[in-house]
Structures are given as C-alpha cells and as structure tokens.
Chain A
Amino acid sequence: MKTAIRFVALVMLAAFLAACARDVREEPTAPEPPPPPPPVEEEVDRVDPRDFTDARNLDNPDSLLSQRTIYFEFDRSDVRAQFRPIIDAHAAYIQGNSTARVILEGHADERGSREYNLGLGERRGNAVEDLLRAAGVAGRQIEVVSYGEERPVCRDSSEDCWQRNRRVEIVYTAR
C-alpha cells in the first residue's frame, strides 16, 4: 500500500517537473507536496462478520469466529444449545480453509480425581469434535488434547470459577 502511494507521488512529481520543464523553465519553484492519500477504509468494516470463511473474522469481535471457548456443566460433556452457533461458525471456517488446523483443548474443574478429569476433558473435546465432523470438517484438521484440571483459567475454589474452567478451547495452530 505504502509503495503504491509512493509510486503515485513519484509519477505526479515527474509529471509536474515535466510541466515545469515545458512552461516555466526560468522560474523554478518548489514542487507542490503530493496530495494526501485518500483515507483508506478500515478493512474490517468491509468484512461481513457472518462470512465464516474469512480469516479476518477470527480476530473480529463482532464475529462468532472470535469466540473460541465452549463451556460445560459439572461432570457433563454434552454441548449446550447456546454454543452450537459458535461451533457451526468454526466448522464453516475450517471447511472453507483446507490448510486450517485446530486443537480442541479439553479442560475440567478441580473437583474429583486428576486422571478422571483428564478423561472428562477429552470427552468434552470429543463432543466438540463430533459436532465439527458432523458439519463436514475433515478429521485430519482436528486434534483433541485433554489437560484435565491442570490448566485452569481461574483459581478460586468457587462455582463461579469452576464453570469458567469446564471448557473446550478451540486453538488454531494454522489458519
């Protein structure tokens, strides 16, 4: 972009000098500064947040694609209806971008035994994977990794914290 502006400026300057050369060679004046470049429209504004194949929406807070955490109830791994649109959006993206790769990181809250919670985290990851696959995503683009209760985002022993820790994070290793 910058190169383009610089190029335009050079062309204009060259034209101006040429004009000078033709008409007023004896009275050289300082060349006028090039006009400021027209304001560039913010790229994101042009992106349709519902276009789930557009990688820019992964960072667009207005798009569902920017949401990548699915939350679960205690000792459960069924995906609640409110999270289905997020998973559908990512399914559309991954399907539309064959080089995209995701890791589904499964997590549990701290209650109960650590190894059982590893199993629970994986079951949650698998539940999200199943929905992505059902929407047509290729298995080779998905990996499930369970961290059990070992990687909490919140460390108080309260239900408020626990519900934030019972989650699957959709992590893009390639977009």
Chain B
Amino acid sequence: MASGLRAVVLFGLLLLPLLAQAQLRIEIVDGVEGAMPIAVVPFAWESEMPEPASPVHEIISANLARSGLFEPMAEDSMIERPTRPPEVRFGSWRLLRVDHIVIGRVIDAPDGIGQEIEYHLLDVHSGRILLSQALPVAPGDLRFGAHRVTDAVYEELIGIPGAFATRIAYVVVTDIGGPDELFELVVADADGFNPQTVVRNTQPLLSPAWGPEGRRLAYVSFATGRSNVIVQDLFTGQTEVVSSSPGINGAPAFSPDGQRLAVSLSRGGSPDVWVIDLDSGSQEQLTQHWSISTEPAWSPDGERIYFTSDRAGRPQIYVMDADGDNVERVTWEGNYNARVSIGLEERFLATVYSEGDNDFRIAIHDRETERLRVLSDGRLDESPSFAPNGSMLLYGSRENGRGVLAAVSADGRIRQRLVDSEGDVREPAWSPILR
C-alpha cells in the first residue's frame, strides 16, 4: 500500500515540469461482435474534495468500451444506482441483460492524504462478488486510479492483465515542411489524456523507447545536426547524451533490467547493434557485418536480441544471443520485415511487413504455428508497438496525407484510430505497466 501510494504520487509529479499538448482523440473503428455487456454504475462521491469533471465510473466505462471486448451500458438506462454490495438487486440487472456490474464510491483516505476508490465487481447471474478493493489514490490522480480499477476488472473477466494504467509516447510534427516545423516528443495516458511534451526541437526526433520502470525514455535527436541517442528521466527532466559517435546513433532499446541500452551505431563503417552499459558508459559491439543491422529488441528475459538486417539482400528479422552469438533468421514471409516488436512469450512478433514494396503494413508472425497475419491495411504503416499485456498493437499510419496513430487488437478484430487535431503523429511506443 505504501509503495503503491508513492508510485501514484510520482506520476502526479511527472506532469509538473512539462508542457501541455493537444490531446489525441481515440475513435473506435471496429469492435467485437458479442462484446460482454457490463454496467459501471455511477460511483458515490463521498469525499470532502470537489468532484472532478470526469467521474471515475465514466473513465472506467470508456476504458472498457475502448478495449472492444465490453459493451458498457448507458448511464441513463440504469434504473437503480447501488454503491455497496448489499444494495444490489441482481434480478433487476438480469432483466437489463448485463452480465456484470461495477459499483463503488470515492472516499477520503483515512490518513487524510488523497482518496480511496472502493469498488466491487459482481457477477449478475451467480450473485457473487468477484472483486472488492479499496484503492488508495494520491491527490489529483483519480484518472490513474480509474485506470487501475479497469485493469483489475479486465484481468478478472478476460484472464490477462489490463494495460489501461499505462502511457504512450509519440512524436508530433507541426508545420511540417514549413518554416516553423517543430518536432515534439509527447507522453500521454493510454487513453490519450494528459498529453505532455517531453522535448521539442526544430530538428527531427524519432524512435522513443521506454525504460522498463516507465520512468525513462530513450530517443534519437538530430538537435546537433547529427543523430544522438538521448536518455531522459521523465520525473526530473534530466537528459543525458548516451551515444554521439561519428555516423548513425539510433534505435535505442532498454534491456529488461534497465541497466543497458541496445542501439544501432555505424561508427564501425555500417550500422551494427551495440550495447551500452548505462552506468559505466562502456560500449560493446554485438554484430559485425557489412550490412545494416538495426532496431534491436530484447527478449523479455534479456537473453536474446532481435534486430533488422538486410544481410540476405532485403531487410528481415534476426535473433541472436545477448552476447552476439548464434545469429539466426526468424522471418521468412514477405520481402520486407523490419522494426520488430515482441509480444507475449516471444511467440508473436509484429513487424513492418511488405510483399512487393508498394504497401507497408503491420503483420504478426506467429512463431508457433509459423503463420502470418497482416493486421493493417494502410500503404505506409510503421513502428508497431505491443501493449505490455500483448492484447493490442499501436502503430503509425497515414490518412489523407497526415500521420495518425492506429491501434489494432492482436487478433485483428478491434481497431482504433488516435487523431491529433494539430499535427502529424508518428512513432508510438507503449509503456510497460506502471505500478
């Protein structure tokens, strides 16, 4: 409980030194047939503090709807408004044809600092209470509290952890090609709220990557006119240039333990995968090949590194041990596979995929069945990034000549579009689950 509270307080701090940004609007393009009917009943507000504009139950309801797996009931269809389990009359909810209801209230924390979200998930058919919890929330962090509640409800009903209490990083470019062209690296909640500019620059910014603790971002900046790899602490705002060798400094990826950064450096003549120890700054070269070797991605256990290489003529995905040994090709379908993102248990690999160099789409390679699923239908889709629970993929796409973000479920059934009102959006990166 104490450590949970501290984490929530830290996320409040994150917002302070940063600059506000236009918010992404998330539109659902496709949902699932037969999504689960659920009712999130308005939570009682029993706190001394003024109630925020977006009530907790609305955030939970919107989260569940956005996942495509639930069909939350409209608030004005609810006849009863229970806030504690004894008040629930299950027969009424059965008549309304919902399977589950979420009820609760927001109260002031017993220690006087912040609030608690007390919530219950009930099975309408069996009348059982599936979940009951009082979640402590730091002052001003009710939104994140609502995301945590959604994570718990989702995990209880779907069987895998939710990824609502997460953030996304992306690059927004305004006045593209114009005299005031500006690149901004933005971090927002996974539902698009609280967008904050982490860094802005008149020169290109690309390839954001999250630290495993969700507190640091690594990215590539051309601020000096050449590429540099930067690591920035989101809480303190502190930045460090971790690589500025002659040639390319690109494609950063934190190791799962957060102590090392895999990058692509061309200081040896062609882009190769290197690993930088973030404490000592020492650099170790893992690949040594005349071809392009870039876009490293660590296996979840840190034992292997996947990367893009065109050593066989065209770009494909390869894997090697984390010391550079035992290089093996892993993608065989399509004449172009790049920028791999690794899904659950390394079974699913998402890539930028092309068959004939005209359409570049997001595809998932299932390494168990050796089958390929093309998930997007754009012409210039790029930068796939798995949600930390493997359920959804975020990627960059183009629509009417503009960069937009899109999300698709790993099975291809659920689609969302994330639109920024002002600029070109690209290069999404989904954070780990924030605890």
Contact = CB atoms under 8 A, between A and B. Distances in A.
Given A112-B336, A113-B338, A116-B294, A122 B206 contact: no
B379 interface: yes
Contacts of A156: 401
A113 B308 contact: yes
A162 to B, nearest CB: 11
A110 B177 CA distance: 14
Contact of B248 (A112, A119, A150, A151): A119
B299 interface: no
Given A119-B248, A122-B247, A157-B380, A112 B222 contact: no
A150 B206 CA distance: 9
Contacts of B339: 113-116
B401 A114 contact: no
A85 B310 CA distance: 30
Contact of A123 (B264, B292, B357): B292
Interface residues of B, number: 38
Interface stretch (A7-15, A20-28, A86-94, A139-147): A139-147
A157 B379 contact: yes
Given A115-B264, A116-B294, A150 B382 contact: no
Contacts of A112: 315, 336, 338, 352, 354, 360, 382
Interface in B262-316: 264, 266, 270-271, 292, 294-295, 308, 310, 314-315
A64 interface: no
A118 B398 contact: no
Contacts of B294: 115-116, 118-119
B225 A145 contact: yes
A29 to B, nearest CB: 60
B199 to A, nearest CB: 16
A154 to B, nearest CB: 9
Contacts of A118: 227, 248, 250, 264, 271, 294
Interface in A109-150: 110-116, 118-120, 122-123, 144-147, 150
A118 B222 CA distance: 12
A120 B291 CA distance: 10
B397 to A, nearest CB: 12
A165 to B, nearest CB: 12
| Interface size bracket, A side | 20 to 34
Contact of A111 (B204, B206, B360, B427): B360
A155 interface: yes
Contacts of B207: 114-115
B197 interface: no
A150 B225 CA distance: 12
A122 B248 contact: yes
B176 interface: yes
A147 B295 contact: no
Contacts of A113: 295, 308, 315, 338-339, 352, 382-383
B226 interface: yes
Interface string A47-59: 0000000000000
Contact of A144 (B206, B247, B250, B271): B247
Contacts of A155: 176-177, 401
Given A113-B315, A115-B308, A116-B310, 12 more contacts: A112-B336, A112-B352, A113-B308, A113-B338, A113-B382, A113-B383, A115-B250, A116-B308, A118-B294, A146-B247, A147-B222, A156-B401
Ranked nearest first, the 3 interchain pairs of A and B with the lowest CB-CB distance are A119-B292, A150-B204, A113-B338
20 contacts: A75-B357, A110-B380, A111-B357, A111-B360, A111-B380, A112-B382, A113-B315, A115-B207, A116-B294, A116-B339, A118-B250, A119-B270, A119-B292, A119-B294, A122-B266, A123-B292, A145-B225, A147-B204, A150-B222, A157-B398
Interface of A: 74-75, 110-116, 118-120, 122-123, 144-147, 150-152, 155-157
